[in-house]
Amino acid sequence: MTMKKRSLIVVLVTLSILLIATPFFNSNTTIATTSQPLKSFEEKAALVSIHVKDRTELDKLVEAGFDLTEHVHQHEDGTYDVDAIVTPSELKKIRNQGFEFETVYTKAEAEQRIAERKSQVKKLDQATSSEDSITILRANFFENYSGTFLYVEAKTSAGAASNVALTATWDAGKGTEIGSGGEATLRRVEDYGEYLYHQLLLPIEEIPHQIKIESNQGGTSTATISEWLGEDKPDPDKPHYVSDFVDHYMDSTEITERIESLAEEFPELAEVIELPNQSNGYRRKAQALLGDNTNDSVVVTSNDWGHEGGNDISISLEKPEEEQAELSLHIDGQEIVVSLATDENGNVSSTASDVITLLNQEANELVSADTFRGAEGDGIVTPESSVQLDDNLDAPDSISRDPFTVKALRIGKHRDGSKTGVFAYSQEHAREWVTPLVSIETAERLLRNYAHDPETRKYVDNLDIFIVPTVNPDGAHFSMYDYNWQRKNMTNHCVDTDFSDPLAQDYWGVDLNRNHSVGSVHDGYIGASTNCTSAVYAGPEEVSEPEAQNLIWLAEQNPNIKFAMNIHSYGGYFMWPPGAYTENRETLPRPTAGEEAYFWQASETILDEIRDYRGTVILPSRTGPIPDVLYSAAGNSADALWYDYGIYAWDFEVGADIWNEEQGRWQSVGFQPPFEEGHAEAMEFANGMNGLFDVAYQYAKDKKPPKSKATPGKGTYDEPVEVSFDSSEPATIYYTLDGSKPTFESDKIQIKDTREGAETLMIEETTTIHWFAMDAAGNVEKHYNPDGNGNNYNKAKITIK
């Protein structure tokens, strides 16, 4: 595939990056006392690639709270390219420090993504605006040496939309009921992007007489099945598996409606769970910024949300005709009129501070007022007529401004907690538009392949699957309609700071993947910030945000969940805990050697599935524990699930780099690539989710205890020996060296060091080793009970002469 040239600024930094890593806003400082033009504060961020010389500088960049995009490329010489979101003022710092950089960014690309999405949504709305009509093109059976097969082609008038699904039901022969013979979803067939028809080819036991095709848009059609005539019968050896149910970037409202419709369509297999903590909502207080310079400016903020009346408020600063007029205020409904004071020459004499004091005293039922970012407010205000307050939200009225109820889709034949649980969640970071498509595609495949695909039926019958396709609905709406780089949610914790003005609105919110209680910035771990304008703001306290609370609630309410996948973008990573470390690079406790081996074993299954779609290989350098392949992410959700709830928790970073033949280098794809690329990412990582389901299925069926041995084993040796342990499968080894019984409180074999295997035991004097192994599924070697009275653990006496 040929990629369009990505929009970014390439910044080649050859000196210490810490000099440029100061966040755009610093809540501990105020603006200069000299008056500055307000337009100098209006900054829009851009995507850049920063070159750092080593890991130490990368960690400094992380610690400084820079808005890193979770894409790090290491070169053979040990240097790194790190993608980040920066503002013009940060680029100016680079220039002032003498750093070299090359600009290849065009701001039009972000707008192009939004325009493309709008165009596609309009096209799809037209296609599905009413009940579709279905034409059955073929309905045949045929026989060959391996059995009897049913072949169907049907076309829907709403075929332009990939989410339109056709389901076939047929009888078991003449005189039997439709549905008695079987049921299956048809596969969509396209050629060069043009919809042709839907197709079905399946083995059957009984030759049917009639078939019925139903659409999820309401259309229906029936036909009589006839025998295939001619020799050009379809090839029956290719398995019938339906996929490709996403055709555009979807906002949170669309996504939620989609999972609700799936639960309604498949009530025996799926249900919607309303998570208990509503989000803040896609809403803002209405504001106006009066003035041209910092010291003569007034920030006015409505008490009500913009959509609840704040947007109806207007304010005027009027100059009276007379000299030595007094400052006064008049309110007429939602209109605030301030009559400014004048001096003996009839000139305005009211300062910004004077107007602010008056508004807060006499208009406080409607608004509050403040200076601009801590300025003195001693500048003389400029008269302005009827300035409308505005919440500056551009989403259409179809997007609710009220608190959002985040929903999970629960899929499984048995949804009572008796089956092993798998939890998939996406779009913690709002700007990652591809990630909810992975979740939706995964859900569609599970439900629509259940009736005819044995592999899918195996997963749905034996697992309890929870999917939250959009963790951060408010931020996602803001990213799609207002500010495409939005990472955080929309909870504004800057209200009582110097950064509560409308020019700071793109920087409000909490990074939901830094808001958790394990390894948080509040505990001294790096990779998050306590600055409310930082891209990695962790919130005022741990788990302060309803969106983060919802994930924890789901884990607590469903202790059968043993596996989780946090779906992010971009860069093509596959990672697991620990996810955070201190400034001294002390990580959270590493998994045991056995647990680490299980993470690696599972990754092979999952990554093989990703590769099968279009050959994408997740590189070994981007696979492993988070600190080994990326950087510290203090307070991330995967750590919370692993350390607090014992859930094997992974992170996808969808969107692997693509080789640019023209430039001769690997090229990152960005958060919002052209949909052709975003679609491919969704398909391949939905494949990866099938890999995770297979891992969970094998876990659920695993009842066989592991076996282990020590090498060298018991015996007499002339000098100290180094003992290693091998096991029949990934398993944690619990051991003692003092002759005591091994228990779950005993020491465990850990990994040696970063990216290394299991540690060994150096035995320098005669020692008896007692040990047992336990696999990931909890099976204990020899069925030994560490809490009981048995002694059927392993023993080896090492005698050193």
* DSSP per-residue codes, 699-726: HHH--PPP-EEEES-SEEESS-EEEEEE
* Tokens of residue 135, six digits: 């034409």
Cα 658 to the center of its chain, rounded Å: 21
Residue type, 424: A
Please name the helix (run of DSSP H) or strand (run of DSSP E) that holds residue 658, with its range, or none: strand 658-660
Question: Do residues 666 and 657 make contact, with C-beta atoms less than 8 angstroms apart?
Answer: yes
Question: Do residues 629 and 572 make contact, with C-beta atoms less than 8 angstroms apart?
Answer: no
Peptide bond into 396 cis (omega under 30): no
> Which residues sit opposite 49 in a β-bridge?
10, 83
CB under 8 Å to 246, separation ≥6 — which residues?
A: 162, 163, 437, 440, 441, 679, 682
CB under 8 Å to 141, separation ≥6 — which residues?
A: 148, 149, 150, 151, 204, 207, 208, 225, 226, 227, 228
Cα 305 to the center of its chain, rounded Å: 28
Cα 28 to the center of its chain, rounded Å: 31
- Looking at residue 446, its pLDDT comes to 98
Q: Residue for token digits 């207007």?
A: 314
Q: Is 289 helix (H, G, I), strand (E, B) or coil?
A: strand
Peptide bond into 643 cis (omega under 30): no
3-state secondary structure string across 240-253: CCCCCCCCCCCCHH
- pTM listed for this prediction: 0.92
Q: Is 109 helix (H, G, I), strand (E, B) or coil?
A: helix
- Looking at residue 120, its pLDDT comes to 82
Question: Among residues 41, 501, 496, which one has the least CA distance to residue 286?
Answer: 501
DSSP per residue, 375-442: ----SBPPPEEEEEPB----S-TTS--SPP--EEEEE-S--SS-SEEEEEEE-SSTT-TTHHHHHHHH
**Cα 477 from Cα 480, distance rounded (Å):** 5
CB under 8 Å to 520, separation ≥6 — which residues?
A: 514, 528, 538, 542, 580, 634, 635
Packing angle of the helix pair 252-265, 435-448 (nearest 10 deg)? 10
Q: Is 467 helix (H, G, I), strand (E, B) or coil?
A: strand
**Cα 106 from Cα 103, distance rounded (Å):** 9
**Cα 357 from Cα 617, distance rounded (Å):** 62
Exposed, middle or buried: residue 17 (CB in 10 Å: 0-12, 13-18, 19+)? buried
Question: Among residues 98, 117, 91, which one has the least CA distance to residue 16?
Answer: 98
* Tokens of residue 133, six digits: 């009509």
- Looking at residue 540, its pLDDT comes to 97
Alpha helices in 635-744 (DSSP H): 637-645, 675-701
Peptide bond into 712 cis (omega under 30): yes
Q: What is the mean pLDDT of each run of 10 residues along the chain (801 residues)?
A: 34 35 42 72 78 80 78 80 78 57 54 82 77 94 89 92 92 94 94 90 94 94 93 83 94 97 97 98 97 94 97 96 94 96 95 97 97 94 95 96 98 97 98 96 97 96 98 97 94 94 94 97 94 94 98 98 96 92 92 96 94 89 88 94 97 88 79 91 96 97 96 94 96 96 96 89 95 97 94 95 88
**Cα 576 from Cα 626, distance rounded (Å):** 6
**Cα 105 from Cα 95, distance rounded (Å):** 16
CB under 8 Å to 662, separation ≥6 — which residues?
A: none
- Looking at residue 150, its pLDDT comes to 95
CB under 8 Å to 676, separation ≥6 — which residues?
A: 1
Exposed, middle or buried: residue 107 (CB in 10 Å: 0-12, 13-18, 19+)? exposed
What are the C-alpha distances in Å from 175 to residues 172, 178, 208?
8, 9, 10
**Cα 532 from Cα 483, distance rounded (Å):** 18
**% helix / strand / coil in the chain, to the nearest 5?**
25, 30, 45
Instruction: Tally Cβ neighbours within 10 Å of residue 546.
Output: 20
- Looking at residue 344, its pLDDT comes to 94
What stretches of 26-146 adopt beta strand conformation (E)? Answer: 46-52, 67-74, 80-86, 100-104, 134-144
Instruction: Tally Cβ neighbours within 10 Å of residue 38.
Output: 18
- Looking at residue 3, its pLDDT comes to 33
- Looking at residue 6, its pLDDT comes to 32
Strand pairing report for 561-571 and 648-656? parallel
**Cα 666 from Cα 46, distance rounded (Å):** 20
Q: Residue for token digits 């990472």?
A: 487
Length of the chain: 801
What are the C-alpha distances in Å from 14 to residues 22, 79, 203, 672?
17, 10, 63, 29
3-state secondary structure string across 12-54: ECCCCHHHHCCCCCCCCCCCCCCCCEHHHHCCCCEEEEEEECC
**Cα 548 from Cα 566, distance rounded (Å):** 13
What are the C-alpha distances in Å from 635 to residues 152, 412, 521, 526, 588?
52, 31, 7, 9, 11
Q: Is 189 helix (H, G, I), strand (E, B) or coil?
A: strand
User: What order of strands is seen across the sheet that includes strand 384-388?
Assistant: 328-332, 335-339, 314-318, 384-388
Cα 738 to the center of its chain, rounded Å: 47
Question: Among residues 139, 135, 133, 128, which one has the least CA distance to residue 169?
Answer: 139
Packing angle of the helix pair 546-557, 637-645 (nearest 10 deg)? 30
Cα 58 to the center of its chain, rounded Å: 23
Quote the longest CA-to-CA distance of the chain. 109
Question: Do residues 523 and 588 make contact, with C-beta atoms less than 8 angstroms apart?
Answer: no
Question: Among residues 89, 82, 86, 93, which one has the least CA distance to residue 12?
Answer: 82
- Looking at residue 237, its pLDDT comes to 80
